[in-house]
């Protein structure tokens, strides 16, 4: 309920606005009159479908019988239906089945919901209704996401996105990008989630889809909440609220008020959080939004627990649970039992807490709600421990740990990356096939023209019959040459296949090497823990990279480096692996950046057996290394042919700290000294370390190099942006600048704001 990135199902057929709810009855009466007085079944079906769209929110229990009635009418008419009539009937049947799926979802019966969405999908695929197929795939993906089956969820959502791109359904694309971002967020892949959300927002702004944009802004706020950037979260939550207030979207406003309350709670401002929770609660009550009321009551109770106001807590949790039960949301009912149980543990009532935990677990297991099962096992473990039931406490704690670890396992993360790579590959494959088809058409046209020419030659030969002997001899020579050419072509084709197979083997090996290299890089989540306002733009020229970034944190000191090894591709990647290992060894021996670079220089030279001899290798690296004292915000920098750029808060001018003009390794002396510099950083100050790849980009109007001067100007101009926004801007600018020009070197840029 708090701080979870969730997106609405793509085509949910329920009324979403409070004013619509108030005006429903007249419309329902009108539709009922149409259904009863209809002279044909098609009109009756349409009236029933429209009824379900209204009743979905106000009276969901009546929807499934109406949907079953629609299905019966369709089945009665199908045997004699053909062509467009059959298509329309099956489309209505799929809609009725899908609407039933929404109702089962609202009741918390996820397995039943998936069953109905898949039935609808089968019918839509049968009639090749691509738009509806994409919607059903999105719905099934959302269901699997809700049950923690992220690999399946991502599979369905990427399939939906692929179809939407094929048919140009831009609004659907924007919604799918949002849903996929939700998956990556739940897997902890924050950067990937941000990438998809910004793509979605850009498309919604292009389409002037204010409702969609407000939801995406809300999701951006939730994502920034997840990584602890509450100020940024509030910025996006308020942007979303502003749009919803302009649209008078009362349901959306209740969500925004609640989320803003969550942000203030996270910042420790509990009174302001309560103010927004109460605003959300009052608005939810005015429009009859039971889910919104329940969420607010639950959050208010949580604040009261923190404030030690225990008198009303259980009553708020119980009232919240009853509302969830009324709307059939079993997952949240289970969660409410758990909340009450944890409160009872806090107030020294372990027997009552154990009862609540058992009820929470029973509901969660029936609905296969993994997260709720995890929380219930933890509650029961704590209750058993308080009751001195050591065996029970241990057993339930083991189950809690198992469920916790399974929810975001490393294999699931890899599966998500694999699915995304497969989707990108499928897009490229489709483009390649289209190009091959175009080439085949051109070849057929050439073949047709060739036949016309051949017949013309034959006619000409007939007219010059007197020269038949000469022509015959010429043809014999031509045939021999043709045979020779065909043999050559066969040999060439065989050689081409051999080369392609070898290239594929080599490429596959390099791709696998990329996985090894990426595994060696530090986890970005660890870097973001020390530097919450940070980005790392990493764009290898080839599959693997000669640039690498490094991070190590110990005793309140965080070391971060950007290194540029000799070469790129496979040779550069080998150097980067050696460099990373030697840098790690050097940091274990010293905490001084100057001394660390000296040890690194010696380590590289020893590892590559470099000496003064002419046949010795001259490979090495340039590097910028910072050691940040997280308590005093003091930076110590040392560089080998790489500088440190600093932009102070309120300024747009770069202060450059130059590194020592010697590389690591190669012909550098073993005892080379690398100068260090110490800087005091203040709130809002920003620093950058980087390789030379960005400045060396070729492109623009005249195909010229970008240069360090232009790179500096770009960084100075984007200081008003957040660090993730800076990363996206730099990436987009690089792609736009080089356009069709080949990237000449690996790119690595690290930015940190204090």
Residues 315-328 have pLDDT tens digits of 888 888 888 888 77
Name the range with the highest mean pLDDT among 46-60, 360-374, 432-446, 458-472.
360-374
> Domain spans of the chain?
1-127, 428-518, 522-753
> Is residue 531 within 8 Å of residue 595, measured between CB atoms?
no
Which single residue is written with the structure tokens 């051109």? Answer: 442
Asked if 144 and 415 count as a contact pair (C-beta separation under 8 A), the reply is no
pTM confidence score: 0.48
State residue 447's pLDDT score.
62
Q: Name the pLDDT band for 434 (thresholds 50, 70, 90).
A: low
Note the pLDDT tens digit of each residue in 627-668: 999 899 999 999 999 999 999 998 888 999 999 999 998 888
Helix (H) or strand (E) holding 72: helix 63-77
Question: Residue 448: which pLDDT band, with cuts at 50, 70 and 90?
Answer: low
CB 579 within 8 A of CB 563: yes
Q: Please check whether residue 576 is in contact with residue 565, taking contact to mean a CB–CB distance below 8 angstroms.
A: yes
Homologous superfamily, domain 522-753:
PPM-type phosphatase domain (3.60.40.10)
Q: Do domains 1-127 and 522-753 have the same CATH topology?
A: no
- Closest to 293 in 3D by CA, of 302, 301, 303, 282: 282
Res. 47: pLDDT tops 60: yes
Question: pLDDT digit string (tens) for 30-42?
Answer: 666 656 666 677 7
The H or E element that residue 97 is part of is helix 83-106
CA distances from 352 to 299, 315, 337, 343 (A): 22, 15, 11, 10
Query: C-alpha 443: how far from its chain's center?
Result: 42
- Residue 438: its pLDDT value, please? 58
Residue 186 has phi, psi (to 5 degrees) of: -65, -25
Strand pairing class (747-753; 686-690): antiparallel
Bridge partners (DSSP) listed for residue 8: none
Nearest-CA neighbor of 152 among 121, 114, 189? 114
Q: Which residues of 720-749 are buried (b: 16+ CB within 10 A; e: fewer)?
A: eebbbebbbbbbebbeebbeeeebebbbbb
Cα–Cα dist 560/546, whole Å: 17
CA count, 13 A, side-chain hemisphere, 127: 20
CA distance 607 to 664: 12
Q: At residue 51, does pLDDT exceed 80?
A: no
The three-point CA angle 210-216-217 to 5° equals 85
Assess if CATH 1.10.20 describes domain 1-127: no
- The answer to whether the CB of 586 falls within 8 A of the CB of 599 is yes
**Residue 357: how many CA atoms within 13 Å on its side-chain side?**
27
d(CA 332, CA 295): 9
Bridge partner list, 628: 558, 635
What confidence category does residue 589 fall into, taking pLDDT thresholds of 50, 70 and 90? very high
Query: CA-CA distance, 439 to 324, in Å (whole number)?
Result: 60
Instruction: State yes or no: pLDDT of 687 exceeds 50.
Output: yes
- 8 Å CB contact between 590 and 666: no
| C-alpha gyration radius of the chain | 33
For the segment 82-99, what is each residue's pLDDT rounded down to a tens digit? 888 888 888 888 888 988
Q: Which of 431-445, 567-581, 588-602, 672-686 is predicted with the least confidence, judged by mean pLDDT?
A: 431-445
Q: How is residue 613 annotated by DSSP?
A: S
**What average pLDDT does the segment 124-131 reach?**
89
pLDDT in tens, 335-386: 888 888 788 888 888 888 788 878 878 888 887 877 888 888 887 888 888 8
Q: For residue 559, what are the CA distances in angstroms to 376, 606, 691?
A: 40, 24, 17
Q: In whole angstroms, how far apart are CA 550 and each of 197, 518, 692?
A: 28, 12, 17
Give percent of the chain with pLDDT exceeding 90. 22
> Which residues, including other chains, have CB under 8 Å from residue 34's CB and lie 6 or more apart?
43, 44, 47
CA distance 587 to 691: 21
Q: Output the pLDDT for position 104.
A: 81
CB-based contacts of 8: which residues, under 8 Å, 6+ apart? 215
Going by C-alpha positions, the residue among 243, 326, 14 that lies closest to residue 139 is: 14
pLDDT at 625: 96
Name every residue whose Cβ is closer than 8 Å to that of residue 741 and which is 6 or more positions away in sequence: 698, 699, 703
Rounded to 10 degrees, the C-alpha dihedral 306/310/315/318 comes to 50
Q: What's the pLDDT at 357?
A: 77
| Residue 263, helix vs strand vs coil | helix
Nearest to 627 by CA among 692, 577, 552: 552
> Could you tell me which of 685, 694, 698, 728 has the C-alpha nearest to residue 713?
694
| Segment 169-184, tens digit of pLDDT | 888 888 888 888 888 8
Question: In degrees rounded to 5, what are phi and psi of residue 507?
Answer: -60, -45
């Amino acid at each position: 309920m708090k701080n979870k990135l969730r997106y609405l199902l793509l085509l949910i057929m329920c009324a979403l606005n409070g004013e619509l709810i108030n005006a429903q009855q007249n419309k329902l009466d009108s539709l009922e009159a149409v259904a009863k007085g209809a002279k044909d079944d098609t009109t009756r079906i349409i009236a029933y479908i429209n009824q379900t769209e209204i009743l979905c929110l106000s009276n969901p229990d009546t929807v499934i019988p109406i949907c079953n009635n629609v299905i019966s009418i369709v089945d009665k008419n199908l045997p004699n239906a053909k062509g467009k009539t059959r298509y329309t009937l099956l489309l209505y049947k799929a809609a009725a089945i899908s609407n039933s799926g929404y109702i089962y979802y609202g009741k918390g019966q996820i397995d039943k919901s998936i069953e109905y969405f898949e039935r609808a999908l089968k019918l839509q695929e049968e009639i090749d209704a691509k738009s509806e197929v994409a919607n059903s795939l999105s719905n099934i993906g959302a269901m699997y996401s809700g049950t923690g089956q992220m690999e399946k969820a991502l599979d369905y959502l990427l399939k939906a996105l692929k179809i939407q791109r094929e048919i140009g359904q831009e609004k659907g694309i924007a919604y799918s990008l949002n849903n996929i971002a939700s998956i990556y967020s739940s897997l902890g892949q924050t950067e990937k989630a941000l990438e998809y959300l910004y793509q979605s927002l850009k498309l919604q702004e292009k389409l002037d889809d204010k409702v969609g944009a407000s939801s995406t802004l809300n999701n951006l706020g939730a994502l920034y909440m997840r990584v602890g950037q509450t100020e940024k979260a509030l910025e996006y939550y308020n942007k979303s609220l502003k749009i919803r207030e302009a649209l008078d979207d009362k349901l959306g406003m209740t969500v925004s008020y609640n989320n803003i309350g969550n942000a203030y709670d996270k910042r420790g401002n509990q009174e302001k959080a309560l103010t927004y929770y109460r605003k959300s609660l009052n608005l939810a009550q005015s429009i009859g939004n039971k889910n919104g009321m329940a969420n607010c009551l639950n959050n208010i109770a949580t604040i009261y627990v923190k404030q030690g106001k225990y008198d009303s807590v259980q009553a708020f949790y119980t009232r919240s649970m009853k509302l969830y039960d009324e709307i059939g949301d079993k997952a949240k009912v289970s969660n409410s039992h758990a909340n009450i149980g944890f409160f009872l543990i806090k107030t020294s009532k372990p027997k009552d807490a154990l009862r609540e935990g058992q009820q929470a677990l029973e509901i969660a297991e029936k609905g296969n709600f993994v997260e709720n099962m995890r929380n219930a096992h933890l509650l029961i473990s704590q209750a058993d421990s308080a009751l001195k039931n050591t065996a029970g406490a241990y057993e339930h704690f083991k189950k809690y740990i198992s469920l916790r670890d399974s929810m975001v396992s490393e294999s699931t993360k890899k599966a998500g990356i694999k699915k995304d790579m497969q989707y990108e590959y499928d897009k490229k494959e489709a483009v390649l096939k289209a190009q091959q088809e175009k080439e085949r058409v051109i070849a057929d046209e050439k073949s047709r023209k060739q036949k016309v020419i051949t017949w013309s030659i034959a006619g000409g030969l007939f007219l010059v019959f007197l020269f038949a002997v000469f022509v015959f001899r010429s043809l014999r020579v031509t045939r021999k040459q043709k045979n020779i050419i065909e043999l050559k072509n066969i040999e060439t084709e065989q050689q081409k296949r051999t080369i392609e197979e070898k290239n594929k083997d080599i490429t596959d090996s390099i791709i696998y090497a990329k996985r090894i290299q990426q595994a060696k890089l530090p986890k970005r989540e660890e870097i973001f823990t020390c530097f919450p306002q940070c980005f790392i733009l990493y764009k290898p020229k080839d599959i693997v990279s000669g640039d690498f970034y490094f991070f190590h944190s110990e005793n309140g000191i965080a070391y971060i480096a950007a290194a540029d090894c000799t070469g790129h591709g496979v040779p550069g990647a080998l150097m980067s692996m050696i460099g990373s290992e030697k840098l790690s060894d050097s940091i274990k021996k010293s905490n001084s950046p100057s001394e660390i670079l000296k040890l690194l220089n010696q380590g590289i030279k020893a590892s590559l057996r470099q000496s003064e001899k002419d046949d010795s290798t001259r490979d090495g690296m340039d590097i910028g290394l910072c050691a940040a004292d997280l308590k005093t915000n003091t930076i110590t920098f040392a560089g080998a042919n790489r500088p440190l750029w600093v932009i102070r808060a309120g300024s747009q001018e770069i202060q450059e700290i130059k590194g020592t003009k010697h590389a690591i390794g190669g012909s550098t002396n073993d005892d080379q000294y690398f100068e260090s510099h110490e800087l005091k950083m203040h709130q809002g100050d920003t620093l950058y370390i980087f390789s030379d790849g960005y400045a060396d980009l070729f492109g623009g109007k005249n195909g010229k190099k970008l240069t360090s001067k232009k790179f500096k100007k770009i960084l100075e101009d984007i200081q008003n942006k957040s660090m993730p926004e800076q990363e996206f801007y730099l990436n987009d600018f690089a792609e736009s600048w080089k356009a069709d020009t080949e990237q000449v070197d690996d790119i690595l840029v690290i930015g940190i704001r204090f």
